[in-house]
Structure 1
Amino acid sequence: MATRTDGNSGTSRADLIADTALTLLAERGMRGLTHRAVDERAGLPQGSTSNHARTRQALLEATVRRLAEQEARVLHPGQLFGPGEAPSAAGDPDQVSAVLAHALHLYLTRHPEYPVCRYELALEATRRPGLREFYDAAGRRFREPLVALMTAAGSAEPERHALSVVAWCEGMMFSCAAGSYSTSVPTEAELRKGFGELLYGMLAPRIR
């Protein structure tokens, strides 16, 4: 995931450090994520990571922030529709299902390290109140657009329905990243069908 690209090649040292931290987290788990390990893996002078993130809390926060940025490029609902493509107020569950399925399939097949990092950080956040607050704040960048998407799709209870969609996605991510389906990720068509069943079940009264 991480490549030595600080300098003039377009990636800042801060991003390099955070990307390397994600790589180590996916490969070695929380115990393998240290300031020294990041310096060594990124090919940076010793002490570089400490200068950027002086405490472990700061390093974990930088890692959470970078993971949210990377995941947003694939999963953020606001970026899944092009201009003029957002569902109308009347709702279009088929369109929403297709877009969400495409994004989730890309996430699971092209970025399998992301959910591993997500769960490592989520578990650590249960033991660190400061990180819990930071982790939850980062997650709101996904929740709020999804609530808006559910509203546009015709939901009468967009907050509750957004939670159901998030829970369904989280369950699928865990099953495919660390659960019994890690070697058999569903196809995009299968994910689309699953999203469709979920959305039509929630929105059926409004659609009829």
Structure 2
Amino acid sequence: MTTTRERSLDAAVELVGTHGIRALTHARVDAQAHLPRGSTSNHFRTRSALLAGVAAWIAEQETRDLSAALSRPFDDLDGFVETFSTAIELLTGPYAVRTRARYALFLEAAGDPDVYGPMHAQREGMATWSRNLLTSLGARHPETATRAFMAFADGIALHRLSVDPQAPVRESVAVAVRGCLEA
């Protein structure tokens, strides 16, 4: 059974992911979640607390939803390309609204460690995962390769979220990974 808090968080993600960060108010979240007025503020007293709650919720949901895709074993470059491509397709397909909300929160959170913290921790986890795999695939300069690959991942995700939702992923990921291994 979904709790009032979870309903509020799901509604907040939906609002931010479809209408932008300015749409995030306690009253709008209550309305979106079909909750009595004031329900969201029972869990998140301030807008800052609501932003922090949404950031942590997104990180938790993404970790849960991507863990299966990212934990598939593989032994070679093609396996890495397939695994990472699947993750990008999930983030920009079925989870596109949540991904848009995450990007909006990143921009909003620059000066708020309570909001930035959970999102940054999740991103660091993804960077560590990518660095380890790029290293295992023979990256000459793993730190540089990881920064370049993470920038590429953000770029392809933003492109699919904003310009071309059907843009092919696998071919681009393959080129990016090969380039990162050579750099």
Q: Is it true that 1:148 corresponds to 2:132 in the alignment? A: yes
Corresponding residue for 2:180?
202
Q: How far is 1:185 from its partner?
A: 1.9
Change (3 A) 1:106 1:135: closer
Q: Determine if contact 1:72/1:142 at 8 Å carries over to the other structure.
A: no
Q: Is it true that 1:13 corresponds to 2:7 in the alignment? A: no
Corresponding residue for 1:192?
170
TM-score, normalising length from structure 2? 0.86
Task: Return 60-69 or 131-140, whichever deviates more.
Answer: 131-140
CA deviations on 1:159-181 (whole Å, 9 max, x unpaired) are 32222111111111111212xx2
Q: Determine if contact 1:75/1:104 at 8 Å carries over to the other structure.
A: no
CA–CA separation in structure 2 for the residues paired with 1:193 and 1:118: 25
Corresponding residue for 1:6?
none
CA–CA separation in structure 1 for the residues paired with 2:61 and 2:118: 16
Question: Which residue of 55, 74, 81 corresponds with 2:71?
Answer: 81
Q: Say which structure is richer in helix.
A: 2
| Structure 1 unaligned residues grouped into runs of 5+ | 1-8
CA-atom RMSD in angstroms: 2.3
Q: How far is 1:33 from its partner?
A: 0.7
TM-score, normalising length from structure 1? 0.77
CA deviations on 1:132-167 (whole Å, 9 max, x unpaired) are 345323422322222222222222432322221111
Q: Determine if contact 1:108/1:185 at 8 Å carries over to the other structure.
A: no
> Percent identity, aligned pairs only?
30
Q: Which runs of at least 4 in structure 1 moved beyond 4 Å after TM superposition?
A: none
CA–CA separation in structure 1 for the residues paired with 2:3 and 2:9: 10
Corresponding residue for 1:44?
35
Corresponding residue for 1:29?
20
* Aligned residue pairs, count: 183
Change (3 A) 1:68 1:134: closer
Q: How far is 1:100 from its partner?
A: 0.9
Report 1:160-171 matches (<5 A). 160-171=144-155
Change (3 A) 1:200 1:139: closer
